[in-house]
Amino acid sequence: RFMTAKDEDILSSPSLLRKGTAIDRFLENVLINKNVKISDMLVGDKNALVIAARITGFGPEYTAKVTCNTCAHSPDYNFDLSKIKTNRADDLQLDLNENGTFNLKLPTTGVVLELKPLLSSDEQKLSAILKKQEENNRRETPLTTQLKSIIVSINDVTNRAQIARFVENMPSRDSRYLREYYAKAIPNIDMTEDYVCPVCLAEQEVNVPITVNFFWSRP
């Protein structure tokens, strides 16, 4: 359903924002079917709901700052959220399993990984781990932490300690191949847009930035 003033209260709640649960609570509130659990949704489906809710609430126009990689100019840029496309991996021949996972053979080590799509609940666990690392002044490990989360097994070995050791010692070529393949294989929305800097005319691809102002229309 459409957003209401009550929904805006959720999005601006200081306690929910501190906990990082404001978006999930908001989505739960606008969903008509209460049997649908946000935590059980694929990350891509949740992202699509966020975009759809923003469009129905405030329209497709979204203004945010974009920084040019060439001259560092950082102007306001108007994004059209209605033009965001979806990635459905139609051009990939996925080796699917009955339990919803899929297999991938790495080019360097030759091992076969069983991979799973991340759910919203998995994404929250990842965020909690990285936040704890930051709070404890530990080196943050966003890349290896995510890879450990998406790998179910390695050559049918499901031991989490062995998976962790493999990820931390994985050749860079295999790591990049895995990340690129996974990004194509998992259904999601494409948050990139072509951008031409108005100052130096450099062309680049930018991600639509989801800032604190995403759900607030400009006067």
| CA pair distance 126, 144, nearest whole angstrom | 11
DSSP-derived 3-state class of residue 119: strand
**pTM for this one?**
0.80
What mean pLDDT comes out for the span 118-129?
A: 87
| CA pair distance 175, 180, nearest whole angstrom | 9
pLDDT digits (tens, 9 = 90+) for 108-122: 999 999 999 999 998
8 Å CB contact between 37 and 24: no
Task: State the first-to-last Cα distance of the chain, in angstroms, to the nearest integer.
Answer: 24
Question: Residue 77: what residue type?
Answer: Y
| CA pair distance 17, 39, nearest whole angstrom | 17
pLDDT digits (tens, 9 = 90+) for 14-39: 898 888 788 899 999 999 999 999 99
Closest CA to 120 of 26, 11, 191, 184: 26
Which phi-psi region, left, alpha or beta, contains residue 195 (left: φ > 0; alpha: ψ -120 to 50)?
beta
